[in-house]
Amino acid sequence: EGYRNFCNKLWNASRFVLMNAGDEALDGPVELSLPDRWIRSRARELLLATEQALATYRFDLYATALYDFVWHDYCDWYLELTKPVLWSTDSDPAIVRGTRRTLVEILEMLLRAAHPVIPFITDALWREVAPRAGKAGPSVMLAPFPVADDLPADTAADTAIDWLKGVILALRNIRGEAGIKPGQAITVLLQGGQAQARELAGATESLLKRLARVDRLEWLADDATPPAHALSLVGDLRVMVPLAGLIDLDAERARLGKEIARREQDVERLQQKLANPGFADKAPAEVVARERQKLAEAEQALATLRGQIEVISQA
């Protein structure tokens, strides 16, 4: 059942790519957007994983790497990130061309990488996709297996999109728990986070606004007191949605209660682990230090959530 759904997912993704890039000219100047750079970097990681798995005869890890990339990176995130570029009349033609080229090239690479474990579907799709990617041949069976060195690593794009994904998931969680309709535009307040957070927010703001239905994004000073809000934590970044006119207060209190209970379990587990002489005395010092850091972060997150539920209770 799961793998049938996976094949359907791959088939539908290919149809999306061919509908949005199949008849468009891919020649000419291109500019790769942040999502384009990210998916190319993630594809490189996929190929490194498949090369290692095949070299060690771990065909299970090979299939799992393909599954995760197709389902999560390519379909769940990259295809969604391309829609604002492809469907906007204001998009730069060079960026649109870069996105279409990336869609086709990564899909063509993926079909070659997946062919050994999904032979028939990948061959049928490759015959349609390959000409658009500039590849010739009667069958994917005769095409070379892709290699990681053909794609660049891009740490900056990886960091930016991972940050964006974290914030979008935080906002989706707030919407779901508080009963805010997916199509309803919201104001988002950000506070705290690492020094790089503001730079990442600036680089991904347009994507965040489109994918998370955000009409206004505002940063608060660390010592500023925000209005009553729903809160989700992304590391030490506070992602907040003002309550006025949006939030079901009872639902938000319930959501925070569940999150507090989960964090309390994390704190208790880490405290017990560090209090165990068998771990604290025998584990390497760097491992113990890492667990102490996790405990400190969990306690800080718990304190933040407890403060937030007090704010909600007074609203």
pLDDT digits 0-9 by tens, 219-255: 999 889 888 788 888 988 999 998 777 767 778 788 8
Nearest to 311 by CA among 223, 252, 235, 264: 252
Burial degree of 8 (CB within 10 A; 0-12, 13-18, 19+) = exposed
Query: Where are the chain's structural domains?
Result: 2-148, 154-247, 248-315
Phi, psi (deg, nearest 5) at residue 299: -65, -40
pLDDT at residue 52, as a whole number: 95
Read off the pLDDT of each residue in 159-174 and give the average, rounded to a whole number.
94
Nearest to 303 by CA among 238, 228, 243, 248: 238
Read off the pLDDT of each residue in 120-128 and give the average, rounded to a whole number.
95
Where do the DSSP E strands lie in 60-140? none
Helix axes 93-114, 119-129, angle to 10 degrees: 150
Class of domain 248-315: mainly alpha
Q: How many Cα atoms sit within 13 Å of 70 on the Cβ side?
A: 27
**Residue pLDDT, tens place only, 77-98:** 999 999 989 888 888 989 999 9
Confidence band, pLDDT 50/70/90 cuts, at residue 32: very high
In this model, does residue 265 exceed pLDDT 90?
yes
Confidence band, pLDDT 50/70/90 cuts, at residue 23: low
Residue 92: count of CB within 10 angstroms of its CB = 13
From edge to edge, which strands make up the β-sheet containing 214-220?
214-220, 186-192, 237-242, 229-234
Cα 283 to its chain centre, rounded Å, is 33
- Give the separation between CA 107 and CA 221, rounded to whole angstroms: 43
pLDDT at residue 57, as a whole number: 95
Instruction: State the fold for domain 2-148.
Output: Isoleucyl-tRNA Synthetase; Domain 1 (1.10.730)
Q: What is the mean pLDDT of the chain?
A: 90
